[in-house]
Amino acid sequence: MAESSPETIKAVAATRNIIPQIVPNVATEEITKAAEKIRREDSEKKKRKLKRKSKSKKDREMEKEMSVKKDMMSTEKSETKLRTKETPFQLQNIAQYMEEQNIMGQVDAQRDFKEQTKVAEKIKKTDSKKRKSKSAK
C-alpha cells in the first residue's frame, strides 16, 4: 500500500522511467562499441589487403623483369645452339656424304699405312742391328 500513496507513486514512476532509459543507453553503448570494433577490424583487413596487393604488384613487376631477362638469355642461347647444334636430318646427310666419299675407308687405309710403316721401321732396325753384329765379329 505504500506504493499506492501519491508521494510514492511519483517516486516509483520516476525510478521506473529511469530504468528503461538506462537500459537503452547501455544497449546503444554496447552496440556502438561493437560497431567501432567491427569498423576497426574491417579497416585493418583492408590495410592488410592493400599491403598484400602492393607486395604482389611489386612481386609481379619483379617476375616480369626476371621473365624478360630469362627470355633474353634463352634467345641468346637458342641462337648459339642453332649455330652449333645439328638436327638429325643434318646428321643423316653427313653420314650419307661420308659413305659416298668413302672417308671411313680412307681413314682405315691411313691407319693401316701407319702400322705398316712402323713395322717396316722395326724390321730395318733389327736388320741393321744384325748387320752391325755380323760386321763386328
CA 67 to chain centre: 10
Domain span at 109: 86-137
User: Which of 60, 77, 104 delimits the end of a domain?
Assistant: 60
Same domain, 8 and 52: yes
Asked whether residue 19 carries a pLDDT value surpassing 80, the answer given is: no
- Domain assignment present for 81: no
Q: What is the mean pLDDT of residues 39-59?
A: 81
Give, in order, the Cα–Cα distances in Å from 25 to each of 19, 33, 36, 96: 10, 12, 16, 101
Query: What is the torsional sign of CA 127, 132, 133, 134?
Result: positive
8 touches 2 (CB < 8 A): yes
- Domain assignment present for 132: yes
Instruction: Locate 102 and state its grid cell.
Output: 668413302
- Domain assignment present for 8: yes
Task: Return the higher-pLDDT residue of 94 and 18.
Answer: 94
**Residue 76 pLDDT:** 63
Give me the number of domains the chain comprises.
2
**Residue 21 pLDDT:** 61
Q: What is the mean pLDDT of residues 50-65?
A: 76
Asked whether residue 4 carries a pLDDT value surpassing 60, the answer given is: no
Task: Return the higher-pLDDT residue of 107 and 85.
Answer: 107
Q: What is the mean pLDDT of residues 50-70?
A: 77
Asked whether residue 1 carries a pLDDT value surpassing 50, the answer given is: no
The CA distance from 8 to 17, in Å, is 14
- Domain assignment present for 68: no
